[in-house]
Amino acid sequence: MERTIFEAPGFSWVDLVEPDRADLERVGIRNGLPASAVQDCLDPEHLPKWERFDTASFVILRAHDERADSQADSPQALTRKVAIFWGPGFLLTIHRKDQPYLSAVMDRWRQRPAGDADPTTLSASLLVDLVHGVLASYEAPLEEAETRADAFEAGLMGEHDVSIALREMYRIKRRINLIKRLLWRTLGIITRLPSLGIPSGPPIQDLREAGESMHFYADELLEDVTNLLSMQLAMAAHRTNQVVQVLTVFSAFFLPLTFIVGVYGMNFAHMPELTHPWGYPAVWLIMVAVSAAIWFWFRHRRWLA
């Protein structure tokens, strides 16, 4: 579906939703767009990228999909792609589904008076608004990840199923890492906007600061989650060491006693201790003395509290 969102003297914003190959070819011919770039619009797996041609520039952005599954951890499952072409007097957006951030930008521009602004200025302002919307779409999933990480940290010292907690935190880490990589690519596009014909100025500076801030937020959150995972693994290892220590103490006590009992349980005919009247109490005395010696040695080495 092709629709005109905004028109002004010498400038128009056209939006294509769920286009087929014929729609893209028609629009590409009308605006003088390279066929290779138009074909990229049909590929759902493209990461953020930018290109510049003789008569137009091309950018692919990926924004967070609010309807994405909570377990999504791939660019295709977590985000939605929007392709943007712009050139002298036009800006073209192409996407498969309506997205909240894009609808909000459309609503603002529909209410904007056409005026007599320069087409280059209009194109730059619109592109800045679109990229701002893409950046803002990542704020909600990052805040959700931060909330879940805080809850995980609050229960870190309590009793919980370690395997379930580790799986959940690993999924969160994967999502944050994916968002960070997408934001880094988007920030790379923002820094190249002046070279793509967008005049440098306060709007571009604000956009760059917003991109850097969002990327720093994701980077800081990723570091926190990684530290939490390391702490959880360290605590799990500490609990395992405590269990092994207890088992080792029991083994150290009972191993020599088991040896003594095993020797005197063989019942050979010529074992003088078996017929000695004090043989039984003597063996008990030896076992008690061995246990006491082990206990004192453990206390001396501070292996027992």
Winning range, highest mean pLDDT, from 158-162, 222-226, 253-257: 222-226
Mean pLDDT of 20-26: 80
> Predicted confidence band at 134 (pLDDT cuts at 50, 70, 90)?
very high
- Please compute the mean of the pLDDT values over residues 58-85 and round it to a whole number: 86
CA dihedral 85, 91, 96, 101 (to 10 degrees): 120
Q: Which CATH architecture best describes the domain 242-300?
A: Up-down Bundle (1.20)
Helix (H, G, I), strand (E, B) or coil at 87: strand
Helices (H), ranges, the chain: 21-31, 35-40, 75-78, 100-110, 119-137, 139-154, 162-192, 202-264, 272-275, 279-300
Q: Residue range 88-104: average pLDDT? A: 86
Q: Quote the CA–CA distance of 138 and 101 in Å, as a whole number.
A: 11
In angstroms, how far is CA 71 from the centroid of its own chain?
A: 11
Say whether pLDDT at 305 is over 70: no
How confident is the model at residue 202, as a pLDDT?
83
| Extents of the domains making up the chain | 2-237, 242-300
Residue 62 has pLDDT above 80, yes or no: yes
Provide mean pLDDT across the span 40-52.
Answer: 80
Mean pLDDT of 165-171: 82
Q: For all residues of the chain together, what is the average pLDDT?
A: 82
Confidence tier at 67 by pLDDT (50, 70, 90): confident
CA dihedral 31, 203, 190, 219 (to 10 degrees): -150
230-246 pLDDT, tens digit each: 887 777 776 777 778 77
The domain 2-237: what is its CATH number? 3.30.460.20
106-133 per-position pLDDT tens digit = 888 888 887 667 777 888 888 889 999 9
**pLDDT (0 to 100) of residue 160:** 61
Q: Report pTM.
A: 0.77
Q: Whole-angstrom Cα distance, residue 59 to residue 119?
A: 19
Predicted local confidence at residue 34, as pLDDT: 76
Tokens 């087409």 correspond to what residue?
119
Please give the Cα distance from 133 to 78 (Å, whole number): 16
